[in-house]
């Protein structure tokens, strides 16, 4: 079975200059004056989930058994675990933040980036409250002239937290992303934002999806199912490939969320998992020498949960080629990504094979590997170099 986050090996095809990690200040909130509005999006969702044969997780002993069950060499794959369909027809409330650039940096304000975070974080992955001038992707996107919407995926942060086994799965998450992109395309998102904002909200004419890790898997699946809603895409922390095995669930140090931190995760029920220790967080997300210890502490303070249903259903995100997608896609990756390539992303892979297999109609399939970075690209010392590589690629393609 594909692991939750990574199916990939990377090669060092392109570089940005490595910025030495700088000291960081205390984790104070981002108080920079910005034109942002918080939204509670009520989204009616229909999706085709599955009923999987997997162990329940109601305590930490169960959490260890769950990981053993999914990672053991003789365990059945995800398809073999399916016991039947699980149609979903529900309305979910999704917590989102829309930020819009203001003059003189508003030349791309009508281009909306929709950023989907991965496992382990909420929308703050994109908008660090710790030295935002160095780590906030939202601030960097605004400075580059883009509008940007970040959101807490279902089951995370301030969004709804339904059943972890049969509801919070990949198909539902993809439909939520499609619903948000559809709101933007129809102008409904701008209308809703204008009703709450004290600033001018433009009509969005183009949409760029930006994903990280699990969120990149959702982005790719979105391109396969709803290509007409997307003009460009950036997948960070993931690239489809089979040359190197993924780290597997055992790398994450998972615990039952409600037991791991009852004060923070008291609203998470059976099947919600979280990384239990700072060391587990570091192992997957951070590379020594390229981050400050205070940044790791900050990441631990904002870490979030994932569900058993997401872990077992992740492979479905990459099953369908995005044959109808005509825009460009950039894979923006970290050099030292443990989960993706076991910590050494300087191997080789065939980009033409990726294009042929998943994106036969894409305008371009590009790759950038950011030197001196681990999987949490937004919280390493050279994050701004990573951001500029992303924006340069989008500019090259008129986005």
Whole-number pLDDT of residue 210: 98
Class at the top of the CATH hierarchy for domain 36-396? alpha beta
Q: What is the pLDDT of residue 156?
A: 98
pLDDT greater than 70 at residue 313: yes
Note whether 343 and 375 are within 8 A (CB).
no
* Model pLDDT, residue 249: 66
The mean pLDDT value for 28-56 works out to: 86
Q: 137-167 as b/e, with b when 16 or more CB fall inside 10 Å?
A: bbbbbbebbbbbbbbbbbbbbebbbbbbbbb
Q: What is the pLDDT of residue 103?
A: 86
Pairing of strands 108-116, 206-212: parallel
Tokens (6 digits) for 17:
């200059």
pLDDT at residue 78, as a whole number: 84
Q: DSSP per residue over 256-325, as a string?
A: EHHHH-HHHHTT--TTEEEE-SHHHHHHHH--TTSS-HHHHHHHHHT---EEHHHHHHGGGGGSS--TT-
Q: CA-based Rg of the chain, rounded to a whole angstrom?
A: 19
Place of tokens 């909420």: 122
* Helix/strand/coil for 36: strand
pLDDT at 28: 36
Distance CA(339)–CA(191), nearest Å, equals: 40
258 Cβ contact partners less than 8 Å away, ≥ 6 residues apart: 265, 266, 268, 269, 272
Name the residue among 88, 112, 164 with its Cα closest to residue 399.
112
Give the pLDDT of residue 361: 96
pLDDT at 145 over 50: yes
The confidence score (pLDDT) of residue 246 equals 57
CA dihedral 160, 163, 169, 171 (to 10 degrees): -70
Mean pLDDT for 114-118 is 97
The mean per-residue pLDDT over the stretch 264-284 comes to 94
pLDDT: which is higher, 45 or 73: 45
Instruction: Kindly tell me if the per-residue pLDDT of 111 is higher than 90.
Output: yes
Could you read off the pLDDT of 164-201 as tens digits, one per residue?
Answer: 999 999 999 999 999 999 999 999 999 999 999 999 99
Residue 341 has a pLDDT of 74
Tokens standing for residue 199: 């600033």
Q: Report the chain's mean pLDDT, rounded to a whole number.
A: 88
The DSSP element (H or E) to which 235 belongs, if any, is strand 232-236
The pLDDT-based confidence of 9 (bands split at 50, 70, 90) is very low
Closest CA to 311 of 85, 77, 73, 83: 77
């Amino acid at each position: 079975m594909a692991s939750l986050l990574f199916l990939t090996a990377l090669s060092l095809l392109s570089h940005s200059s490595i910025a030495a990690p700088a000291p960081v200040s205390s984790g104070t909130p981002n108080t920079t004056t910005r034109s942002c509005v918080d939204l509670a999006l009520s989204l009616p969702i229909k999706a085709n989930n599955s009923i999987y044969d997997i162990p329940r997780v109601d305590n930490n002993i169960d959490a260890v058994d769950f990981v053993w069950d999914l990672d053991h060499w003789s365990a059945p794959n995800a398809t073999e675990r399916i016991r039947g369909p699980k149609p979903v027809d529900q309305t979910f409330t999704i917590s989102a933040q829309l930020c819009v650039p203001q003059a003189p940096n508003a030349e791309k304000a009508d281009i909306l980036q929709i950023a989907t975070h991965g496992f382990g974080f909420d929308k703050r992955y994109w908008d660090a409250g710790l030295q935002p001038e160095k780590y906030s992707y939202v601030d960097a996107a605004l400075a580059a002239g883009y509008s940007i919407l970040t959101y807490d995926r279902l089951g995370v942060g301030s969004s709804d937290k339904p059943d972890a086994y049969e509801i919070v799965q990949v198909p539902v998450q993809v439909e939520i992303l499609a619903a948000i992109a559809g709101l933007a395309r129809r102008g409904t998102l701008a209308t809703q934002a204008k009703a709450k904002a004290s600033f001018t909200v433009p009509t969005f004419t183009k949409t760029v999806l930006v994903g990280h890790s699990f969120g990149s898997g959702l982005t790719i699946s979105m391109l396969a199912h709803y290509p007409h809603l997307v003009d460009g895409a950036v997948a960070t922390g993931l690239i489809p490939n089979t040359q190197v095995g993924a780290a597997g669930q055992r790398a994450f140090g998972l615990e039952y969320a409600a037991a791991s931190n009852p004060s923070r995760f008291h609203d998470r029920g059976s099947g919600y998992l979280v990384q239990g220790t700072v060391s587990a967080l570091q192992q997957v997300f951070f590379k020594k020498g390229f981050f400050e210890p205070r940044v790791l502490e900050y990441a631990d303070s904002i870490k979030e949960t994932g569900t058993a249903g997401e872990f077992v259903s992740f492979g479905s995100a990459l099953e369908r080629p995005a044959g109808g997608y005509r825009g460009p896609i950039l894979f923006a990756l970290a050099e030292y990504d443990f989960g993706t390539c076991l910590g050494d992303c300087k191997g080789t892979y065939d980009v033409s094979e990726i294009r042929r297999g998943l994106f036969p109609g894409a305008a371009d399939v590009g790759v950038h590997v950011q030197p001196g970075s681990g999987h949490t690209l937004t919280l390493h010392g050279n994050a701004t170099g990573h951001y500029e590589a992303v924006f340069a690629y989008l500019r090259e393609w008129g986005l």
